[in-house]
């Protein structure tokens, strides 16, 4: 069996800065700022207009989603995604580097990394350390707007990297997949509220395990080294040689689990796109595990 060659999932600020300095941002290399913040906290687009990595474009996750869905940030259609990224100057031959400006170092960038992969694009990377460390290390920023020539992008949905509600229900009995939830322990257990969402109580899917996404990051905001990540999975008794599904609240930080597994040589981790936001609203009460009601009582 021929081992699959994995495209680099992470690039360093130094690597990207060298390409910026050499004026290599263009049809073959595009940089995307995928920042998003809860309303009232920070204004991602305003911050992007004020300063961003030279040559970068803003990836608006509010625009590149299924707006007809009642759930948060569900995947757009193939045509929607293709049109959206095409207008950002991206073709099927472009190496895409994604970052965000979160204080943790990385938050939304892995979601966009996964979105490209689920639509059949493999040449995509996350900027290790994010914009926070790009600035900290003294690399250039600009307020100059980049208007790239549109690219031709063909999106082909890879269903092996995407899991639906119905498949999650089936897995309750088949137990074919291990399920790992990336939310904080309190939200997973139901001892802390779900932030920013009215009517959504905390809790978890029966049989799921908890690996908070921020534990994959160092205090400085970089991805932990592969051996440390592999040990983290082992400590949680997650077998990377077996099928695995990543979930969270809205299919965003679940992508940190997919990225972490990818770094360990496992590129086939699908994300439950609806995640807890959908599960809580659709699953019967016996399929929701939570301490929330007891605490409220």
What percent of the chain clears pLDDT 70, i.e. is strictly above it? 97
Span 105-122, average pLDDT: 98
pLDDT at 5: 67
What is the spatial order of strands in the sheet that 271-272 belongs to?
162-163, 271-272, 244-247, 178-181, 209-210
Domains, in order of start, for the chain: 10-157 (3.40.250.10), 160-296 (3.40.250.10)
- 11, β-bridge pairs: 127
pLDDT band with cut points at 50, 70 and 90 for residue 296:
low
pLDDT at 293 over 90: no
pLDDT band with cut points at 50, 70 and 90 for residue 40:
confident
pLDDT at 196: 78
The 10s digit of each residue's pLDDT in 226-265 is: 999 999 999 999 999 999 999 999 999 999 999 999 999 9
Span 142-166, average pLDDT: 97
pLDDT at 72: 87
The answer to whether the pTM exceeds 0.85 is: yes
Which position among 64, 248, 255, 264 bears the catalytic label?
248
**How many degrees, rounded to 5, is the angle at CA 136 between CA 130 and CA 141?**
75
Q: Which of 81, 75, 79 is nearest to 111 (CA)?
A: 75
Span 5-13, average pLDDT: 91
pLDDT at 1: 30
Arithmetic mean of pLDDT over the chain: 95
The 10s digit of each residue's pLDDT in 83-100 is: 999 999 999 999 999 999
C-beta of residue 274 within 8 angstroms of C-beta of residue 252: no
pLDDT at 295 over 80: no
pLDDT at 3 over 70: no
CA distance linking residue 264 with residue 288, whole number of Å: 31
Answer yes or no: 248 catalytic. yes
Span 197-217, average pLDDT: 94
Q: Which of 73, 63, 33 is nearest to 251 (CA)?
A: 73
CA distance linking residue 75 with residue 114, whole number of Å: 11
Region class of 55: left (phi > 0), else alpha (psi between -120 and 50), else beta = left
Span 264-289, average pLDDT: 97
pLDDT band with cut points at 50, 70 and 90 for residue 198:
confident
């Amino acid at each position: 069996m021929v081992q699959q060659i994995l495209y680099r999932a992470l690039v360093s600020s130094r690597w990207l800065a060298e390409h910026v300095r050499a004026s290599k941002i263009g049809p073959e290399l595009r940089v995307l700022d995928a920042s998003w913040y809860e309303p009232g906290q920070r204004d991602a687009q305003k911050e992007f207009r004020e300063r961003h990595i030279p040559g970068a474009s803003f990836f608006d996750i509010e625009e590149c989603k299924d707006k007809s869905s009642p759930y948060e940030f569900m995947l757009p259609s193939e045509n929607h995604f293709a049109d959206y990224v095409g207008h950002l100057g991206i073709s099927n031959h472009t190496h895409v580097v994604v970052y965000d400006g979160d204080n943790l170092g990385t938050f939304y960038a892995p979601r966009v990394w996964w979105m490209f992969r689920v639509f059949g694009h493999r040449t995509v990377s996350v900027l290790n350390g994010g914009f926070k460390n790009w600035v900290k290390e003294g690399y250039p920023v600009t307020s100059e707007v980049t208007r790239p020539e549109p690219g031709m992008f063909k999106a082909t949905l890879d269903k092996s990297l995407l899991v639906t509600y119905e498949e999650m229900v089936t897995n309750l009995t088949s137990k074919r997949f291990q399920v790992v939830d990336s939310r904080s322990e309190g939200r997973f257990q139901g001892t802390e509220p779900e932030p920013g969402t009215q009517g959504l109580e905390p809790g978890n899917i029966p049989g799921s395990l908890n690996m908070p996404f921020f534990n994959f990051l160092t205090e400085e905001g970089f991805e932990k080294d592969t051996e440390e990540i592999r040990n983290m999975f082992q400590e949680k008794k997650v077998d990377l040689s077996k099928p695995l599904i990543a979930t969270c609240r809205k299919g965003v930080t679940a992508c940190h689990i997919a990225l972490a597994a990818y770094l360990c040589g496992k590129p086939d981790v699908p994300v439950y796109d609806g995640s807890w936001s959908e599960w809580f609203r659709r699953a019967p009460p016996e399929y929701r595990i939570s301490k929330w009601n007891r605490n409220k009582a």
